[in-house]
Amino acid sequence: MSEILDRQRAIVDDFSLFEDWMSRYEYIIDLGKKLEPLDEKYKTRENLVEGCVSQAWIVADLRDGKLHYRGDGDAIITKGLLYLLLQVVNDLSPEEITDAQIDFVKDIGLTTHLSPSRTNGLIAMIQRIKEIANKYKN
């Protein structure tokens, strides 16, 4: 569990370097550009995150007991948010992911600075990540 906490603290520390929200949004956009595009074959209804205003897809596979997530979105902010989430949960056990409190979004102020629809989408992405992990739990 401490690995997830450490990863979240690192994100909070990164965001603390920015003085204003415009700079933070630019950073999120830059992160979205780093997200590897998801192959079109995975952009299916089954992998679509319900509750996002823009479209977002999340898939994962289990490798040596650890989940590796991939995702994509059709909006650059969504891609940046997804990139952040995947930095927290990637390559951890399904149990670690389902048990985790993913608080960094609140700690960096995302829930108060995003529009309500983007916040709902972010919550939906977190729920989808946990649903996938739950399917792989022993």
Question: Residue 117 pLDDT > 60, yes or no?
Answer: yes
3.30.70.1290, 3.90.1010.10, 3.40.50.20, 3.40.50.10790: which CATH number matches 2-136? 3.90.1010.10
Q: Quote the CA–CA distance of 77 and 86 in Å, as a whole number.
A: 14
Cβ atoms of 30 and 103 within 8 Å: the answer is: no
Q: Which of 4, 38, 49, 52 is catalytic?
A: 52
Task: Specify the pLDDT at position 1.
Answer: 54
Assess whether 52 carries a catalytic annotation: yes
Average pLDDT over residues 77-88: 96
pTM of the entire structure? Answer: 0.93
Tally Cβ neighbours within 10 Å of residue 63.
9
Q: Quote the CA–CA distance of 129 and 24 in Å, as a whole number.
A: 24
- pLDDT single digits (tens) 2-43: 899 999 999 999 999 998 999 999 999 999 999 999 999 999
Radius of gyration of the chain (CA): 14
Task: Specify the pLDDT at position 111.
Answer: 81
Question: What is each CA distance from 114 to 77, 78, 110, 117, 121, in whole angstroms?
Answer: 10, 11, 6, 8, 10
